[in-house]
Amino acid sequence: MEVYYSDILCIGSGVAGLMSSIAAAELNRKICIVSKEPFSWGNTRISGGVIASNQGPSFFDDILKSGEELNSTKLVETLLQESDNIHDTLEDWGHVYQRDGKHKNKIKPGGHTEARTYVSSYKGISLGNILRMRLLKEDNVQVLEETAVCQILVEGNRAYGAMCFNWVKNEWSVIYASQIILASGGGGMLYAPHTDNMRSSTGDSYALALQAGASLVDMEQVQFIPFGIAEPVGMVGIEVGDTAAAGPYGVLTNDNGEVFLDDIPNQTREAVSRKIALQMSGGTADFRNTVWLDPSANTKEVAGRKAWENAKQAGSLEGLKYAYGAKSYKWKEPFKVVPTLHYIMGGVIVDHDGNTTVDGLMAAGEAVGGVHGAGRMGSMSLFEGLVFGRLVGHRAAEKVTGKRDQCVSKLVLQSFIDNYKKSLSNEKGVYSPFKLKDELSSVMWQYAGLIREEKGLRIALDKVIQIERKAQSLNIDWCNSAYRQVILNTIELKSMLVTAKSIIISALKRTESRGSHFRLDYPNESTLGLYNVRVNTSRDEMNAQIVYK
Q: Which stretch binds another protein (CB under 8 A): 39-47, 241-249, 304-312, 400-408?
A: 39-47
Check binding of 234 to another protein (CB under 8 A). yes
**Any contact of residue 486 with another protein (CB under 8 A)?**
yes
Give the shortest CB-74-to-another protein separation in angstroms: 33
Single out the residue of 232, 282, 325, 523 in contact with another protein (rule: CB under 8 A).
232
Q: Alpha-carbon distance 463 to 466, whole Å?
A: 5
β partners of residue 294: 251
Q: State yes or no: residue 547 binds another protein (CB under 8 A).
A: no
Q: Which stretch binds another protein (CB under 8 A): 261-269, 345-353, 359-367, 482-490?
A: 482-490
172 φ/ψ sector (left φ>0, alpha ψ -120 to 50, else beta):
beta
Interacting residues with another protein between 145 and 174 (CB under 8 A): 145-146, 168
Nearer to another protein (CB atom), residue 175 or residue 362: 175
Element spanning 525, H or E:
none
Residues 6+ apart with CB under 8 A from 455: 285
CB of 490 to another protein, least distance (A): 10
Of the candidates 55, 145, 44, which has an alpha carbon nearest to the alpha carbon of residue 95? Answer: 44
The one-letter code for the residue type at 25 is A
Q: What letter represents residue 13's amino acid?
A: S
Closer CB to another protein, residue 119 or residue 386? 119
DSSP, collapsed to helix, strand or coil, labels residue 511 as coil
Residue of the chain from 370, 433, 456, 515 that contacts another protein (CB under 8 A): 433
List all residues 6 or more positions away from 101 whose beta carbon is below 8 Å from its beta carbon.
Answer: none
Q: Quick check: 94 binds another protein (CB under 8 A)?
A: yes
Only segment of 94-102, 279-287, 360-368, 406-414 that touches another protein (CB under 8 A): 94-102
Decide if residue 408 touches another protein (CB under 8 A). no
429 binds another protein (CB under 8 A): no
- Please tell me the count of residues contacting another protein according to CB under 8 A: 61
Give, as ranges, the residues between 40 and 59 that touch another protein (CB under 8 A).
Answer: 41, 45-46
Kindly identify the residues of this chain, within the stretch 110-149, that bind another protein according to CB under 8 A: 121-126, 129-130, 132-134, 136-137, 143, 145-146
| 526 touches another protein by CB under 8 A | no
CA distance 497 to 519: 22
Task: Please report how many Cα atoms fall inside a 13 Å half-sphere around the Cα of residue 535, on the Cβ side.
Answer: 31
Specify the DSSP class assigned to residue 327: H
Q: DSSP per residue over 357-377, as a string?
A: SSBTEEE-GGGB-SSSTT---
Asked whether the beta carbons of 258 and 410 are under 8 A apart, the reply is no
CA distances from 244 to 173, 294, 304 (A): 45, 13, 11
Count other Cβ atoms within 10 Å, centred on residue 73.
Answer: 15
Residue 37 near another protein by CB under 8 A: yes
Q: Which of 58, 157, 481, 511 binds another protein (CB under 8 A)?
A: 481
Q: Catalog residues that contact another protein under the rule CB under 8 A.
A: 37-39, 41, 45-46, 91-94, 96-99, 101-102, 121-126, 129-130, 132-134, 136-137, 143, 145-146, 168, 193, 196, 198-200, 232-235, 237-238, 318-319, 322, 432-435, 438, 475, 480-486, 489
